Amino acid sequence: MHMDLVAALDIGGTKIAGALVDREGRILLRAQRPTPAHEDGDTVMRAAEEVLGELTSSGLWGRASAVGIGSAGPVDASAGTVSPVNVPGWRGYPLVERVRAVTGGLPVELVGDGVAMTAAEHWQGAARGHDNALCLVVSTGVGGGLVLGGKLHPGPTGNAGHIGHISVDLDGDPCPCGARGCVERIASGPNIARRAVESGWLPGPDGDTSAAAVADAARAGDPLAIASFERAAKALAAGIAATATLVEIDIAVIGGGVGKAGDVLFTPLRRCLREYATLSFVRDLTVAPALMGTDAGLVGAAAAALSGGARGGASGEASGAVGGAVGGAVTAGVNGAVGVR
């Protein structure tokens, strides 16, 4: 049988999604369960096993050659374990071992969810054609991943590029990670909403105090809502500029729910980047909205499987996105990229 598919798992605090994906990044079969995030570790694993069960019971399963996992972190790819901050039942949880057992011993590749999103955006999205990129997921938290020299750079444990826990306010609020003034503590969706409410912003009649509601208010001209997004943009700009200065990226791709705020976020972000990214080798840094949407985690996990677990037969495109030379299909320019200048 032709082994032309890989299985992908996208594990977060809200949902566990799975898919069978071909070597062009097309999703052929999907499955999903809510994440029982506040239950014990085995209960969470049972939800993942149910997702995998839908995949393994499909007639397509015999064509799967490997499994890729993109998980909320921290992850430890070298040990095959995960410790998602928002899934307390999983601390040092042996996810790779458990998934390998469920899938009949297939090779399993584990990366952080930010790294998976980066692999997807570099393979098929806004970072396509860029050899040095930072991709961010700005949502309930702030994660990220790096492409350096045309290859994904997950680092030894799979957490490289985790921009959310760069401190950009040395005397700022304590972060759950133990540090102070982290990008995530300022720029994540819940913290944008928190700051707006603490500043006196009042929600509409529906009582919605989400970051999306704050974004709507900012578009309508509410000064407190605007100020909360301005502060978030400033924190993101500081983290992006610091990363660019260290490793010379030429594009930052912004995804996640907060990234959908559009100009409410991107206009102050571009302005703040001009203030922080001042050296000659980072001055031309480009910012682009992510293109892969909610499929980024699955497509990125598939790319990890193709470049790792199925290394012998990975497509040129996927190998370029994650671990090898960039394939011919990964040379097109970025659509809709927004220059900082």
DSSP state, 158? S
- pLDDT on residue 310: 37
Residues 6+ apart with CB under 8 A from 3: 63, 64, 65, 310, 313
**pLDDT bucket at 37, cuts 50 / 70 / 90:** very high
- Mean per-residue pLDDT for 120-140? 94
All domains of the chain in start order, with CATH: 5-112+302-330 (3.30.420.40), 118-292 (3.30.420.40)
**Gyration radius from the chain CA atoms:** 20
Maximum Cα–Cα distance across the chain: 63
pLDDT tens column, 261-313: 999 999 999 999 999 999 999 999 999 999 998 899 999 999 999 987 433 33
> Token pair for residue 158?
């799979």
For the chain, what percent of residues have pLDDT higher than 90?
Answer: 79
Distance CA 234, CA 324 (A): 34
Q: What would the pLDDT profile of 229-272 be if each residue is shown by its tens digit?
A: 999 999 999 999 999 999 999 999 999 889 999 999 999 999 99
Q: Are 20 and 103 within 8 A, CB to CB?
A: no
Q: How far apart are CA 33 and CA 273, in angstroms?
A: 39
Q: What is the distance between the alpha carbons of residues 255 and 262, in angstroms, rounded to a whole number?
A: 10
pTM for the predicted model, two decimal places: 0.84
Instruction: Report the half-sphere exposure of 333 (CA within 13 A, side-chain side).
Output: 5
pLDDT at residue 159 tops 90? no
Mean pLDDT of the chain: 88
Torsion angle in degrees (nearest 10) through CA of 178, 183, 189, 192: 100
Q: Is the pLDDT of residue 145 over 50?
A: yes
Rounded to 10 deg, the angle between the 263-276 and 211-219 helix axes is 90
Residue 114: closest CA among 213, 239, 200, 280: 239
Residue spans of alpha helices (H) in the chain: 41-56, 95-102, 113-124, 183-187, 189-198, 211-219, 223-247, 263-276, 296-307, 316-322
Amino acid at 293: G
DSSP-derived secondary structure for 47-95? HHHHHHHHHHTSTTGGGEEEEEEEESS-EETTTTEE--TT-TT-SSB-H
Q: Please check the confidence at residue 221 and state whether its pLDDT lies above 90.
A: yes
Structure tokens, 168: 């950009």
**Structure-token pair, residue 224:** 């407190």
Q: Cα–Cα distance between 101 and 219 in angstroms, integer?
A: 50
| pLDDT at site 120 | 95
Kindly state the average pLDDT of the residues 160-188. 93
| H-run or E-run covering 251 | strand 251-255
Contacts of 202 (CB under 8 A, 6+ apart): none
Backbone angles phi, psi at 243, to 5 degrees: -65, -45
Alpha-carbon span 244 to 239, nearest angstrom:
9
Query: pLDDT over 70 for what percent of the chain?
Result: 90
13 contacts 37 by C-beta, under 8 angstroms: yes
**Residue carrying structure tokens 């090898």:** 324
Given this model, what pLDDT does residue 177 score? 84
How long a stretch of residues is the chain? 341
In this model, does residue 75 exceed pLDDT 90? yes
Show the tokens assigned to 205: 């009649």
Classify 9 as helix, strand or coil. Answer: strand
Among 303, 326, 24, CA closest to 145: 303
pLDDT of amino acid 19: 98
